[in-house]
Amino acid sequence: MTSQTLTFTRRDALRLAALALTASVASCATPPARVSNIPASDQTASALPLVNALRAKNGLPPLKVDAAASAAAVYQARRMADAGKMEHLIGLGDDFGKRVKTSGVKLPAAENIAEGQRDVSAAVTAWINSPKHLHNMLGKYDGLGVALAYNPSSGDRPYWSMVLSSN
């Protein structure tokens, strides 16, 4: 066996390993989060006057209830509660744009999330006090959906999601 043959064999082995790794990662689509048993509720009607008062103070038009944004917010709140963590992206391959489009939300869209607030007023206040979340609420959006879900395994810890949409 010559050194050229040995080098070729190693190179081939590396290529095969790289192909195998690429194939395994490509096939690792994260299955949808298990959300069927997580208690959740649409809080849009309660949040809308609070958000619209903020927008009015800033000379912006009011938002409207967007059923698709509400569905996307409920789904995200349930996902976070199920995972027991406040994150926009949960799992390998998660994609905000694809996730909200699946619910019928028109893009551009934005999402605010929160954890631990016991009522809608506290959640909206937390978002107002966060520059990035405030920026989203004052953005050029038309629709709103807000949801709350609880994590029963953590003493019913509340998880909030707000989806702002374009109509």
Radius of gyration of the chain from its Cα atoms, rounded to whole angstroms:
22
pLDDT of residue 21: 40
| Averaged pLDDT of the chain | 78
pLDDT at 41 over 80: yes
Query: In this predicted model, which residue has the larger pLDDT, 65 or 21?
Result: 65
Portion of the chain with pLDDT greater than 70, in percent:
70
Average pLDDT over residues 73-93: 73
pLDDT of residue 25: 35
**What are 49-69's pLDDT values in tens digits?**
999 999 999 999 999 999 999
**What are 131-141's pLDDT values in tens digits?**
999 999 999 99
Residue burial 61-87, b: 16+ Cβ < 10 Å; e: rest: eebeebebbbbbbbbbbbbbbbbeebe
